Structure 1
Amino acid sequence: MSSTTWLKLMAVGVLIAGLFSLAVACVPAPPVEEDPPAEEVEPPAVELTIWHAYHVGEKEEAALKQVLEQYKADHPNVTVNVLAVPFDAIFSKWVTEVGAGGGPDMFTAPNDNLGDHVRGDLVAPLGDLLAGKLEGFSEMAINGVTVDGEIYAVPGIIKAVGLFYNKAMVATPPATLDELKAQVEGGTKYVFMQHPYHNFGFFTGAFGGTLMDETGRCVADQGGFAEAMEYLYELKQAGLIFETDEGKANTMFMEGEVAGIISGPWMLGTFKAALGDNLGVALMPAGPAGPATPLTGVDGWYINPNSQKKEAAVELALYIFGPEGSKIYTDVAGSPMGRTDVEIADPLVQAFMDIANAGFPRPQSVEFANWWGPFSDAFTKVMEGVAPAADAVAQACADMNAASGF
């Protein structure tokens, strides 16, 4: 074959290959199949039953209703059934129904009986369900619903007593007990409740007393308690009124018979309606050992150990006592909340938040439950001049320890 012929054949081959490649390039690519759009999965329907002991028609109930309306809008799949139970019946009703295997999914109440409920397996431990979800709650609030290192509620409202005063009658509230005594001796009238609960902050922080040691044994007779009671008796002798009828004491304050009274945030709305802008709130007067440390109680949402919807109940509780829910409680009900991330518009509510956060967390031990009777008797004997303070406290401590099995 000649070289000319060979070149012609090569040219034809190249031309055929080029045409083939062009034909292949012009063939459309097969369509890419796209995944169909994912269908939105609606969350499953959940039904929760909750109890509260707020008085019907009062501000705390109104606050809860408002929060639940917002929750319903944000969680349309959740139905919340609400039952109001009278306060004097809610603990016994919870114990009876939960103890029988029933009851609601959760209820809210003060931590008055938390220790007993924990020991009776009547509230669910929540450490796992609340892990990583307690940001924004104050240390006092968390401590108030913790027993033996385990948390048993979503904390909310924190309560401790402070000094209400009438600005029209006293320009500056007494910061110390000595200042209080000087005002009383000068003719300014105050009324205090003759009950150990209202005066606990004097017994402990103000005079440095310790009620129990780490074992639960009463050691109040070792200092502080007797000195506080003796000083309060001296205040009574100087003219400070000690009243056993709380309703009567409240009326005296609202009608301007006295310039101040020791009470808690549950009276804020009532006193504000009576005194308006003349109402002030301050810490209890400090004593020789330091600031008074009143007992701080915490209202929380407690979860039923029988509930099959504990996780949903906890999420609801976190919503109610979360930042937005707590803001509603403070604005609508005037409730001091156990959070550090809520802006408070009312300075009187802020004052009670500060008071409670500086208080003494209510103990949840078996032994603490035995202090009320003996020390109520002791305080009455001292204030009535029946027994010296040291003798009365020694007897109260002995009675408390006997009841606790020491």
Structure 2
Amino acid sequence: MKMKKILALISTFTLALVTACGGGGGAAQPESPGNTETPPAQESQGETAVPELLPEEGAKLVVWESRDERAYTDAVAKEFTEKYGVEVLVEEVNPTDQLTKLGQDGPAGLAADVVVFPHDSLGKAVTSNLVMPNDFFEEKTRNNNTEAAIQGVSYDGVLYGYPRAAETYLLYYNKELVSEPPTSMEEVIEFSKTFTDKSKNRYGFMFETGNLYFAYPFLASTGGYIYGNGGTDINDIGINSEQTLQSMEVYASLREILPVKSGDITPDIKRGLFTSGDLAMDINGPWELGGYKDALGDNLGVAPIPSIGGQPAVSLSGIKAWYVNSYSQYPQAARLFADFAISKEAQLKLSALVGSVPTNNEAQEDDQIKNDEYISAFTEQFRSSVPMPSIPEMANVWSPVGAALAEIWDNNKDIKETLDKAVSQIKDLNSGGAAK
């Protein structure tokens, strides 16, 4: 850990004084002196001042971005080029495909300089030496973004990502059916008893009961967790802890008002029921916001997830972030772009275009966010969330826990015994190296 910090610090000072070569497929190595003048401090809207980093002479960048969020990146790229004179080419690559593509194309010098992928894949990216630490802008990034965002884009104590948006889920409700959103699961049950009618395919409340991502509040709200020490200790699994059992009892009690097999609760089914008025409340993410607004208009309401076991509901969150390719020919320009693209202004631009939740502290307090009924609700829930563990062993959790949830929900299996079995399976997978 200390060696990583020392190397990152050396890299910070070195990159401020030299430019990288424009050679072939390997990571760029500093060769010739750059600007030898003492660089001025950067000052921007109250953000942490850092020495100026200059792009390499003749630098050109390739950035990978999703189709859905390209409008934001195109706008930021244009502003970046105007400021630094660095040409930026934006290529459309699905974020879930970028890590695999980076692993294939990075060593050959064919990958983008700056990429974006789900933060729970960070551990694999780091252990495969595919991304560079966020070293030069580390202090600035830490100071300007939420703690959860920083945790999500760090691995083994080292910051790698440049967080740009947060993603979690909350309670959507139909105002025509629900006058006031419930604040507790007890209130959810009380309402649903009067509304649910399985014979008419009508339900008061629904979520993907067999999906760990959406069921996490019923594991964690009373103190449970996946891996200990901020999601990094694979020897400390809290899925079957005593704290978890308390909130899982609430989970099991919801079968009374949602008498549907876990496998029959799919995104498509929920979407159809909610938009047709046959589902009063749905736990879902921001990807449904546009469609739900189109279907319900002013009748669409959003609220934090109701409390569980007397405690605020703790959801899982994902952090979208930029990462710099280890094999970039222009690591200084790439760092500059990643930092430039996560400013308060850039995150507000992204939120305006796609409805994302900023990770920047000042952006979260901006009127644009606070006055938006929907985004402010997501922001509130995000503050009660924890980022998904980013270590490679997270891949070993999804299937065993999903199977356990289905057994508890569908077959009324004993909660403690079923979760104990899931934890045993996770330990076996971890010890067998299945996460590699």
Give TM class, smaller chain: 0.7 to 0.9
| Residue identity opposite 1:177 in structure 2 | M
1:226-375 counterparts in 2 under 5 A? 226-239=245-258, 243-288=264-309, 290-342=311-363, 343=366, 344=369, 345-375=371-401
Aligned-partner Cα distance in 1 for 2:220–2:330: 42
Q: Tell me, which stretches of 5 or more residues in structure 1 are unaligned? A: 1-41
1:82-121 matches, cutoff 5 A? 82-100=90-108, 102-121=110-129
Q: RMSD across aligned C-alpha pairs, in angstroms?
A: 2.2
Unaligned 5+ residue runs, structure 2?
1-54, 197-203
Question: Aligned to 2:234, which of 212, 216, 220?
Answer: 216
Higher-Rg structure is 1
Alpha-carbon distance in 2 for matches of 1:395, 1:280: 39
Tell whether the 8 Å contact from 1:48 to 1:105 is kept in structure 2 after alignment.
Answer: yes
Query: For residues 134 and 397 of structure 1, what CA distance do their matches in structure 2 show?
Result: 33
CA distance in 1, matches of 2:279, 2:416: 30
Distance in 1 (alpha carbons) for counterparts of 2:139 and 2:94: 32
Tell me how far 1:95 sits from its aligned partner: 1.7
Question: C-alpha distance in 1, partners of 2:244/2:111?
Answer: 41
Q: Which residue of 1 aligns with 2:172?
A: 164
CA distance change for structure 1 residues 277 and 68 in 2, over 3 Å: closer, same or farther?
farther
Retained in 1: the 8 A contact 2:96–2:118? no
Normalised to the residue count of structure 1, the TM-score between the two structures is 0.82
| Equivalent position of 1:61 in the other structure | 70
- The answer as to 2:157 corresponding to 1:149 is yes
Q: Secondary structure at the match of 1:216?
A: strand
Name the aligned partner's letter for residue 406 of structure 2.
T
**TM-score if structure 2 supplies the norm length?**
0.77
- What is the distance in 1 between the residues matched to 2:312 and 2:226? 17
Secondary structure in 2 matching 1:296: strand
One-letter amino acid matched to 1:63 = Y
What does residue 379 of structure 1 align with? Answer: 405
1:202 aligns with 2:210: no
Give the number of equivalent residue pairs. 359
Give the 3-state SS of the residue equivalent to 1:354 in structure 2. Answer: helix
